[in-house]
């Protein structure tokens, strides 16, 4: 047996002994001492393998050691698997603090949404024919459906997928259009405000406001909060573009996107809750006070969550 064969066999035995304990359970199967020893044995095996190749050793003499080195490399340098449960828990912890950091932008977005809503409401009250201009035919038919009151069909959470998709279009458009220096975000907010205001005015003119309130009270608080937060994240993107500082503009945009990401993902979670509520609770033929109580409880829970104090480590996820 040559010296190379002896050292290759020793390196293979040392590395194989550690790798045999893992058996698909990754590094958590090893003790602290083994975790410290694994990189050293891996480097030893690489050194012997490199020396063997430099000496012109036949590939079959190094095949076993090469296989072990590849296995150890995959174990040491493979990306950590994504655990959806842990990722969602980190999002839940990071979202409140990230949303609070965008409080000023969110207040501006809420004001823009309210301004659009007020203008749409007053315009339809001034001229009922304006509804045909401000609202699509589908939105007019939706408003007219409240004239006879809410349908007594039972709630169905499957409808939540439809409502989530519909609402997510507006929310994610408000975020993504922040890349237009915020102009697109502002237009999305004003347009949705005008639609809301015009719809309320049209329903009120036909004496069906109670039916509308009965439908929207359970979910509207969470839904509008999600839209406002997504738009605030869009304005944060615009801020990164407009005021990049010493960084390149694209780098500033990427940094702003990373900072806004927990807010956007949190808004998506809120839209899921709003969609399920709109599909399950909003259509129920409950009295108005029950609908208001359900919506109020959901809004209070959301407010408490957004004001929830988060540890520094959790806040670090959002940055």
In the predicted model, is pLDDT for residue 13 greater than 70? yes
Quick one: 42 and 161 in the same domain?
A: no
Q: How many domains does the structure of the chain reveal?
A: 2
pLDDT grade, residue 315 (50/70/90)?
very low
What's the CA gap between 238 and 257, in Å, rounded?
10
pLDDT grade, residue 161 (50/70/90)?
low
What's the CA gap between 123 and 130, in Å, rounded?
7
The pLDDT of residue 28: 63
Q: Which residues contact 35 (CB under 8 A, 6 or more apart)?
A: 27
Handedness of CA 233, 238, 243, 249 (dihedral sign): positive
If you search the block for the tokens 């959790």, which residue do you land on?
A: 314
Quick one: 199 and 242 in the same domain?
A: yes
Instruction: Determine how many CB atoms are found less than 10 A away from the CB of residue 270.
Output: 26
The pLDDT of residue 141: 80
The pLDDT of residue 88: 78
Instruction: Determine how many CB atoms are found less than 10 A away from the CB of residue 29.
Output: 13
Query: Mean per-residue pLDDT for 10-34?
Result: 72
Average pLDDT for the chain = 83
Kindly report the pTM of this predicted structure: 0.72
Residues 67-79 have pLDDT tens digits of 888 888 877 776 6
> Domain range for residue 50?
3-77
Quick one: 203 and 102 in the same domain?
A: yes
Higher pLDDT, 259 or 22: 259
CA angle 170, 252, 224 (to 5 degrees): 20
Distance between alpha carbon 192 and the CA centroid of its chain, in Å?
21
Quick one: 127 and 247 in the same domain?
A: yes
Quick one: 234 and 96 in the same domain?
A: yes
Query: Residue 283 has which token pair?
Result: 């259509």
The pLDDT of residue 27: 59
Exposure string over 56-70, b if 16+ CB within 10 A, otherwise e: ebeeeebeebbebbe
Residues 186-226 have pLDDT tens digits of 999 999 999 999 999 999 888 888 888 888 999 999 999 99
Higher pLDDT, 64 or 235: 235
Quick one: 28 and 98 in the same domain?
A: no
Query: Mean per-residue pLDDT for 84-111?
Result: 89
What's the CA gap between 266 and 94, in Å, rounded?
9
Last residue of some domain: 56, 77, 98?
Answer: 77
The pLDDT of residue 316: 40
Quick one: 64 and 132 in the same domain?
A: no
In the predicted model, is pLDDT for residue 123 greater than 70? yes
Query: Mean per-residue pLDDT for 15-21?
Result: 77
What's the CA gap between 218 and 299, in Å, rounded?
9
Residue 122 near residue 252, CB atoms below 8 Å: no
Quick one: 193 and 215 in the same domain?
A: yes
Quick one: 148 and 54 in the same domain?
A: no
The pLDDT of residue 312: 44
Quick one: 304 and 255 in the same domain?
A: yes
Q: Which one, of 275, 112, 294, 260, lies nearest residue 192 by Cα?
A: 112
The pLDDT of residue 162: 61
Quick one: 91 and 150 in the same domain?
A: yes
Last residue of some domain: 77, 103, 133?
Answer: 77
Quick one: 63 and 105 in the same domain?
A: no
Last residue of some domain: 43, 62, 77?
Answer: 77
Query: Mean per-residue pLDDT for 269-293?
Result: 89
Residue 265 near residue 91, CB atoms below 8 Å: yes
In the predicted model, is pLDDT for residue 313 greater than 50? no
Query: Mean per-residue pLDDT for 107-121?
Result: 96
């Amino acid at each position: 047996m040559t010296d190379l064969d002896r050292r290759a066999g020793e390196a293979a035995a040392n590395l194989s002994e550690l790798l045999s304990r893992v058996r698909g359970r990754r590094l958590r199967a090893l003790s602290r001492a083994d975790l410290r020893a694994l990189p050293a044995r891996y480097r030893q095996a690489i050194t012997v393998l490199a020396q063997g190749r430099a000496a012109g050793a036949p590939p079959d003499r190094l095949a076993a050691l090469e296989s072990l080195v590849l296995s150890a490399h995959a174990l040491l340098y493979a990306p950590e698997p994504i655990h959806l449960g842990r990722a969602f828990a980190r999002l839940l912890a990071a979202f409140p603090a990230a949303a609070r950091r965008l409080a000023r932008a969110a207040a501006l977005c809420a004001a823009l949404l309210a301004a659009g809503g007020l203008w749409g409401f007053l315009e339809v009250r001034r001229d009922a024919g304006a509804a045909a201009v401000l609202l699509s035919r589908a939105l007019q038919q939706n408003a007219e459906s409240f004239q006879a009151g809410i349908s007594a069909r039972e709630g169905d959470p499957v409808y939540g997928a439809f409502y989530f998709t519909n609402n997510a279009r507006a929310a994610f458009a408000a975020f993504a259009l922040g890349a237009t220096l915020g102009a697109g975000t502002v237009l999305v907010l004003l347009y949705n405000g005008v639609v809301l205001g015009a719809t309320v005015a049209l329903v009120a003119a036909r004496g069906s406001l109670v039916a509308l309130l009965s439908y929207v009270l359970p979910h509207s608080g969470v839904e509008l909060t999600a839209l406002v937060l997504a738009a605030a994240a869009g304005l944060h993107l615009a801020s990164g573009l407009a005021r990049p500082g010493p960084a390149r503009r694209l780098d500033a945009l990427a940094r702003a996107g990373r900072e806004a990401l927990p807010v956007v993902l949190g808004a998506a979670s809120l839209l899921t809750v709003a969609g399920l509520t709109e599909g399950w609770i909003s259509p129920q033929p409950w009295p108005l006070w029950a609908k208001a109580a359900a919506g109020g409880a959901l809004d209070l829970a959301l407010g408490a969550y957004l004001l929830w104090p988060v540890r520094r480590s959790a806040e670090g996820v959002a940055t």
